[in-house]
C-alpha cells in the first residue's frame, strides 16, 4: 500500500496537478479545497505527509499547521507558498513545517521533496519504548506489561504497536481506519474493524483497573479510540 499524502490547496488547477502527480507516482492522495475541510482532514484523517498551502479561505494554513503540530507533533508537513513570500516561509518553518515549496514548482521537484521528507521521517511517532499508565508501565522494548503489584503480562507485537500508536497520539481520537492504515498498512474496509477492537479488548484486560469501565483506552462512539491519562 502506498503512503498517503493529504493536499490542502484552494487553487484547483494546482491541487489537481499535485494530486495527479502523486497518484501517478504511486502515492495515495487525498485533497481538501479550503481551510474548513482542510482543518477537519488534517486533524481527523489518516495520512503520512501533509502538503499545506498557507493562504486559504476559512482557517488559514498557519492555524492548520498549529493544530496539526498540537495533535500530531511528528507528522511531516511541507508548506506551499507564493514566490517572494519569505515571511510566510520563515513562519511556516518556525511553526514546525519540515520543508517548503515555492509556487510555481515542477512536478519533479515536488516529488523529490516529498520523497526526501518521508525518507528522513518514516515512522517517527513510533520511537516510544515505555508507556506508563495508572498502576504500571508497558515496556515495549521487553514486550511486557508490569503492574506495581508485581503482576506481569506478555505484550504481543501487534498489541504493542496499537498501544504505542495510541499513546503517542494521546489526547486525540484515533479512528479505526487510521489504525488500519498506520499499523496494518491496509486500506479502510480491507479487514473488519472487529480485528482492531479485539486487540483493544486484550490490551484493556492487561492495563485497565476495570476493563469494563476503561479509563486509559477509551472508546469515543462513532469515532475511534482515545488514550487518556485522566481519571
- Residues 24-62: tens digit of each pLDDT: 999 999 999 999 999 999 988 888 899 999 999 999 999
- Which residue has better confidence, 127 or 82? 82
Question: Do residues 117 and 143 share a domain?
Answer: no
Comparing CA positions, the residue from 110, 94, 163 lying closest to residue 132 is 163
143 & 108 share domain:
no
Cα angle, residue 25 at apex, residues 20 and 28 outer, rounded to 5°: 70
Residue pair 78/52 in contact (Cβ under 8 Å)? The answer is yes
Average pLDDT, integer, range 110-127: 73
pLDDT at 231 over 90: no
Q: Which domain holds residue 198?
A: 126-227
Count of structural domains, the chain:
2
Q: What is the CATH number of the domain that holds 137?
A: 1.10.10.10
Q: What is the pLDDT of residues 5-15, one digit of tens each?
A: 999 999 999 99
% pLDDT > 90, the chain: 51
Residue 103 belongs to domain with CATH number:
3.40.50.2300
- pLDDT at position 222 over 90: no
Distance of CA 79 to the CA centre of its chain: 17
pLDDT at 173 over 90: no
Q: Are residues 84 and 178 in the same domain?
A: no
What is the structure's pLDDT at 94?
Answer: 81
Same domain, 8 and 60: yes
Question: Is residue 122 very low, low, confident or very high in pLDDT (cuts 50, 70, 90)?
Answer: very low
- 114/11 same-domain check: yes
Quote the cell numbers at residue 81.
Answer: 507558498
pLDDT of residue 1 exceeding 50, the answer is: no
Mean pLDDT, residues 113-126 taken together? 70
Instruction: Please indicate, yes or no, whether residues 106 and 132 belong to a single structural domain of this protein.
Output: no
- Confidence at residue 84, expressed as pLDDT on a 0 to 100 scale: 63
Q: Are residues 49 and 110 in the same domain?
A: yes
Confidence class of residue 71 from pLDDT cuts 50, 70 and 90? confident
**All three cell numbers of 115:** 520523497
Same domain, 91 and 198: no
Average pLDDT rounded to a whole number, residues 212-218? 94
**The last residue of a domain, from among 106, 122, 138:** 122
Amino acid at each position: 500500500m502506498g503512503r498517503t499524502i493529504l493536499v490542502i490547496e484552494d487553487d484547483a488547477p494546482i491541487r489537481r496537478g499535485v494530486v495527479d502527480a502523486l497518484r501517478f507516482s504511486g502515492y495515495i492522495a487525498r485533497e481538501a479545497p479550503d481551510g474548513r475541510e482542510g482543518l477537519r482532514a488534517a486533524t481527523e484523517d489518516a495520512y503520512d505527509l501533509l502538503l499545506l498551502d498557507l493562504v486559504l479561505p476559512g482557517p488559514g494554513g498557519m492555524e492548520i499547521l498549529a493544530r496539526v503540530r498540537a495533535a500530531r507533533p511528528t507528522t511531516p508537513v511541507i508548506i506551499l507558498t507564493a514566490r517572494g513570500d519569505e515571511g510566510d516561509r520563515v513562519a511556516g518553518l518556525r511553526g514546525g513545517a519540515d520543508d517548503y515549496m515555492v509556487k510555481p514548482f515542477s512536478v519533479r521537484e515536488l516529488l523529490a521533496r516529498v520523497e526526501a521528507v518521508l525518507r528522513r521521517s518514516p515512522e517517527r511517532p513510533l520511537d516510544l519504548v515505555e508507556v506508563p499508565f495508572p498502576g504500571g508501565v508497558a515496556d515495549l522494548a521487553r514486550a511486557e506489561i508490569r503492574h506495581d503489584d508485581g503482576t506481569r503480562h506478555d505484550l504481543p507485537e501487534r498489541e504493542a504497536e496499537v498501544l504505542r500508536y495510541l499513546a503517542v497520539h494521546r489526547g486525540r481520537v484515533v479512528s479505526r481506519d487510521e489504525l488500519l492504515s498506520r499499523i496494518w498498512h491496509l486500506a479502510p474496509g480491507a479487514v473488519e474493524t472487529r480485528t482492531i477492537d479485539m486487540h483493544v479488548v486484550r490490551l484493556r484486560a492487561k492495563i485497565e483497573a476495570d476493563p469494563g469501565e476503561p479509563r486509559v483506552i477509551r472508546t469515543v462512539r462513532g469515532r475511534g479510540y482515545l488514550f487518556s491519562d485522566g481519571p
